[in-house]
Structure 1
Amino acid sequence: MTAALKRAKPYIEQRDGGYWIEETRISLDSVVYAFLNGESPESIAQNFPLLSLEQVYGAITFYLANRELIDAYLEEGEKEFEKLQQSLREKNPPLYQKLKAAQIQKHSKA
C-alpha cells in the first residue's frame, strides 16, 4: 500500500515588494539572515513561534534554490537601509546618535 504524497507547498510569497513566509507577516529576510548567521532550523523556529519547523525548512530551501536572486534582493535592501541611515544622520544627528548608542548597548549585552 502506498501513502499518498502531499503536493509541494509554496512556502514563500511575494508581496509589497518583498518576500514573505506564506500567509504570515514574517519576512524571508529574517529567516535567511538567521540561517546565514549559523542558526539551526530548530533554533529559528523557536525564535519565530508563529512558524512551524516545516515553514522554516521551506524558507531555507527556497533561499538555497534561488540563492543568486535572494542574495541580490538582500543586498539591495542593505543599500536602501544605508541610504536611510545616511539620511537620518544628516537630518537629525542627535536622534541618530541615540539610536546608535542603543544599538551598541544592545550588542554589548548579547
Structure 2
Amino acid sequence: MTPAIVAEMAPLQANEDGVILVGKTRVTLDTVVAVFNQGVTAEEIAHRYPSLNLADIYATIAYYLKHQSEVDAYLQQRRQRSQEIRKMNQAVFDPQGLRDRLLARKPAQEAC
C-alpha cells in the first residue's frame, strides 16, 4: 500500500494590515527571509523564534526559494511603506523639536 502524498500550502497568511505572518504566529515573512539570507539555518531560526515550528520554517524557506521574485517584490513594498510611515511620523513628531521641548522642561523641574 502506497501512502497518499498530499502537497501542503505554505504556512503563510496575511493579517488585517497585509503583513504576511508565518504559521499561527506573529513572526513575519520578512523576519524569516532576512535571517535566512544572513545564513541562519532553519534550526537556528526555530531557536531564535520558539513560536515557529521547524516544519513551518522549512516550508516558508521553500516557498521563498520557489517564489523569490514575488517575495522580494513584497519585501520591497514593505520597505517602501515603512519609509513612508517613518517620514510621516517624523513630520508629525519631529525628534529634534521633542528633544528641545524636553530640555526646556528640565530647568523648570529642577526648580521644584
Q: TM-score range by the shorter chain?
A: 0.7 to 0.9
Q: Looking at both structures, which has the greater relative contact order when contacts are Cα pairs under 8 Å and sequence separation is at least 6?
A: 2
**Cα pair distance change 1:34/1:96, threshold 3 Å:** farther
Q: TM-score, normalised by structure 2?
A: 0.72
Matching residue's letter, 1:42: E
Within 5 A, what are the aligned runs for 1:1-110? 4-15=3-14, 16=16, 17-94=18-95
After superposition, give the CA deviation of every residue in 1:65-104 in whole Å (9 maximum; x if it has no partner). Answer: 1100000000000000111111122211228988xxxxxx
After superposition, give the CA deviation of every residue in 1:15-50 in whole Å (9 maximum; x if it has no partner). Answer: 232322233332211111111122111111111101
Matching residue's letter, 2:41: S
**Cα pair distance change 1:39/1:97, threshold 3 Å:** farther
In structure 2, list runs of 5 or more residues that go unmatched: 100-112
Q: TM-score, normalised by structure 1?
A: 0.73
Aligned residues: 97
Q: C-alpha root-mean-square deviation of aligned residues, in Å?
A: 2.4
